[in-house]
Amino acid sequence: MNPQLEPLEDRNYPSFLLAGTVQQFLVPPVSAAVVDMQQASGDLQLQFNLLASFSPPNNTPQGAVTTFGRMVGDWQRVLSDRAAVQAVVATDTLFIQAAAQATANEGDPIDRLVLQFGPLFGINPLAPLNNLAAQANAIASNPQSQFIVNSNLLAFNPLVQTPAPIATLTTPVSFFAPFPVPFPFM
């Protein structure tokens, strides 16, 4: 006869969401992309001011075209970074939700409860990611930047040599599937 095994005690661990996991591991890369967006947007506006003022090197055709090219690159960085932020925030959110559901399925519902009811009590582990996504959208939709990228820059400096607005010379970026992926409990 084999000896009877003792039942193991129930192990309910504290929520990984309350330990700062999101802020420590998931927020820094998204934050870096938002900082890069801010820098690109700032440089876009600086280059526009230099271009419009005809200050050197923008008082020559080569200088104006070089500055215009830099502005196109800055706007493409803004678009690419915004798409990256949106994709990473969506992926991280789905990962957190899936991890919470998996631990709930294993008998530890703490993470799922934190996600569902935590915001009612001021505990929202997804808030830092959502705030960064909102910042990225605000940077990309900044009225001054939108004015710059949708304007014919020949009106500000005829040495630019192209009537095409910057927005028509950049490519919108998306990392999303063409169909929504539903998640069962959120």
Model-level pTM?
Answer: 0.85
In a domain, 46, yes or no: yes
Task: Spell out the residues 6+ positions from residue 100 whose beta carbon is closer than 8 angstroms to its own.
Answer: 17, 111, 112, 114, 115
Dist CA 104 CA 122 (whole Å): 22
What string of pLDDT tens digits covers the 186 residues of the chain?
A: 777 766 655 555 677 787 788 889 999 999 999 999 999 999 999 999 999 999 889 999 999 999 999 999 999 999 999 999 999 999 999 999 999 999 899 888 989 999 999 999 999 999 999 999 999 999 999 999 999 999 999 999 999 988 999 999 999 888 875 555 555 544
Q: Is residue 15 part of a domain?
A: no
Q: Is the peptide bond before 57 cis (omega within 30 degrees of 0)?
A: yes
* Residue 185 counted as domain residue: no
List the end-to-end C-alpha distance of the chain, in Å, as a whole number: 50
- The whole-angstrom separation of Cα 6 and Cα 168 is 70
**Quick one: how many helices (H) and strands (E) in the chain?**
7, 0
Residue 182 falls in which region: left (phi positive, over 0), alpha (psi -120 to 50) or beta: beta
Question: The domain containing residue 64 runs over which residues?
Answer: 22-169
Give me the number of domains the chain comprises.
Answer: 1
Q: Is residue 4 part of a domain?
A: no
Six-digit token string for 113? 């409860």
Residue 158 lies in a domain: yes
In 3D space, the residue among 59, 31, 33, 40 whose CA is nearest the CA of residue 149 turns out to be 40
| Residue 89 located in a structural domain | yes
Look at residue 181 and tell me if it is in a domain.
no
Longest dimension (CA), the chain: 96
The answer as to whether 174 is a domain residue is no
Please list, in sequence order, all residues whose beta carbon lies within 8 angstroms of the beta carbon of residue 132, skipping any fewer than 6 positions away.
Answer: 27, 30, 31, 34, 85, 89
